[in-house]
Structure 1
């Protein structure tokens, strides 16, 4: 009877206890959840599709009683005790003691993760299904593509860092190549670890030589990228860029000065061209006049030689007539000498005018020079190298012309005094002959032919001899003038080409200045732009300001502290043969009865 009562009591307890417990729950005080953690577990098929998804919730309860959590689960399992958990729509109600309370919620209808994961297997370049590649040998390739799932809360994709681990058995896989992975030894396995940054998808690739392929589970963990990045001190770096932009500004100012110098150079080359034209004209006239002078001087020399020869050969039988014939010849000689002196004066005047014009033009060229270092910096800072080549070439030509002029300046200045000295000598000679002619005319009536003839003969002989030297000097001089005139044509041509190209220099200088100003404007904000780029880069990876949010329901956001993901793929292994089951010998009724008493 006692035994029956005990059994009845137990039956009553089993039948009525759940009802009494639930009634107690409905009457329990309200508890308090201080915080909660969520661990999201996902089991994937070999191709990356979701096979199973469940969440283990850890509630930190500070006051015992009835508490509520939220989630859209298909099934719920209490992992802490045997108490019941009620679910009404998306509200989960349970009576929790103080401490940590764990329960599991499974999502079976359309399970989703914040990432879409696709896994492909290739053997010798051909894609195979997962079950087809098991046990095969050859060149093995694994491709894992991870992209954002646009249907889920983007906060997890934007703030979570993924760690993908692929274990490869060293006995089955050799010559492993995974450029983006960190490879470590883990027992007999090679552990390949890939990292996927927040806000970024990934295309993970590895290859190996494989034999009898089998793969353990690929593990993917996701945690919030909450590490903080200390902002570096960028003042020194931006300060250096400030110096750079300042130097570019100074360079732009220098280019502005260069442009002004180019304009002055252009003006000087134009004036030089005008002066050179005048000088060339003077040299041409001088060369032409010199030819005429040599011709006239030859005639004078021939006349003097003829007179000298006639006087020397007729001393014995000369019947000398003291009429006007001798004085007329001397007067003609005087006129020729004075014409020669006038030509020398004209030649000197033309030379002086041309030289002054050339000197004034040369003085217009800037005296400042550019060093090779300054020219090199210009080449480093400009993109219009063609224009700069023209500028440098013209600058070099101008400096060469100026240097040449300075070298021959002394020779130019000595020409006019030499011409003036020659003109004075010719005039003195003409004056002397004129005086002689007047004296002959004055004493014509009392002239003693016998006594004066010797004197005249000696005087004419000396004059002819001296004039021969003078004529040789004059011919040499005029020949030199003609040579200078011919050679100056090349100098004048170069000056004209430089003057013609000076307008291009001005345009090129203006273009260069505009380019440098544009470069200065473009680089003036580099320090601020660099600082902004650094700040943006740091912000991309610094997720320390991320506020955790629940994966299963927004109503949990105020309590949730940590949410993490643990993801596994199914392993690819050969099916193990089922062990053979030995058939048991069928026992008799007596043997079965005896077995009831055997221990």
Structure 2
């Protein structure tokens, strides 16, 4: 339907253009010059091949009688009077009589091989569906099919390719035919005549089929007209092409932007789904929070109570910190006193250490003397043993003289008693002297008794001496140990005093920091207490606010989440339609692109420029013609060989060229005009 409508529209423009060009008014320039209407008449054979080409030029003299036409003609015929032109060097010079006025017509035959038409035509025939030569169709009975194809000729001039419209037409005498079929054509009946017309835009392929049912087939041929699109309204084609280029560029950008936007929207699907899932989870969380709201508020109350208790407890610590500060001051003073006392003890302890060391040395010397005493006692015991033996021997020799006895006794006492018991020995000697004096001579029994008493006394002395020596030795050992341990103790006491002094020096260094730390701790506790009190007040306010607004907040959150989920669901619906929208946009763009592409590829319609300068058929050196048209006709098919030929070059001599052309096309143009008049 689109193709059909486009062809109908093009047919209308072509028909109006063609009719207008035939009666166009000459254009007068500022300087007088001739204006020319050029018509090329092309005779085709039955099958559309070029047979002969003539160019008829109608010249509006505009008061002039002399002009030059450029072109290579095979023959030039004056169709107005008997004036003969000057021909040569690719030009024709006309010098007309002075009384020549109005229009001047002449015809020039040109070499068909030098003519390049905008379309090449091909015509074929069938009879009852069977391909048939045209020569055999004259008077044929049955269904005759005439197939015309028009191929754009890329070798044609640019002006012709881009501006020439094609009209393909046939006139059918329905009094001699019983059916006409022309699919896609504009047909119009006028009396017994039926006009069939096809059109093609510049550069467009044409493929036309006309089927005529007849008992005796005849046709004057297929008529093709090519005319430039110079109708006033066609001037908008240039604007249309510019608008098309602008629209396509902007449309492509818009489509790319919308396609990118749609793609971005589609890419949001996963994010929207995640957001929806997040809101569902938020709704679940809201439900959990709402269910635990009372427990949370109760727990917050307990936390606030704990903070209050902590604040109160911190307040009770402050006096203890002050007590610790005071105690540290007292301890520092007491330690100072201890250090001073120990300092005073250091010198006496050192003197004591010196005395103890002397005592230790003296006890060592006394121990040596005791050892000497022990040795002397041992010697006495030995001598006592020897004495006992001598006494026994002496008793046996009792007969010795009294003097020897006395000497022996005296020696005994001198040796045995010694310094140990001088008083006892003296008393014994005195007794001996007394006894000797009184008795003169002691008997042996008395002497033994006396000696035993002496022995007993000596044994007691030895025993006492041993005990004394043992006790003295033990005492000296203890004194030595005491002196050693006291010396060690005084050394340690001296070290202790030095360490205590060092400790005090260290405490003196850190004591100010300790005092500052205690002061800062006190301040910290004060500030912490204030902060806890303020925080407790603030949290209490928040707690009360939350408790008062919790129901409203819960309802608002619930409604917000519900509304957001609703929006997201609708957004997903929008995203679902985005894919369809992108596909539809793609289809629309492809359709428009294809249509423009088809229009540009299949035709040169958008290249039409009604304001473009027209180019003469015969030479580019000629001035721009006023009008141009190409009229072609295939050879007629007729059973009467003597019938009048309706071609461009054979006409009665008395008829001028314009009338001759008009006689050939009059029936067709009347039908065309009537078609559009009655629409």
TM-score, structure 2 normalization:
0.40
Higher relative contact order (CA 8 A, sep 6+): 2
Give 1 or 2: higher strand fraction. 1
Normalising by the residue count of structure 1, what TM-score does the alignment of the two structures yield?
A: 0.45
Which protein has the larger Cα radius of gyration, Structure 1 or Structure 2?
A: 2
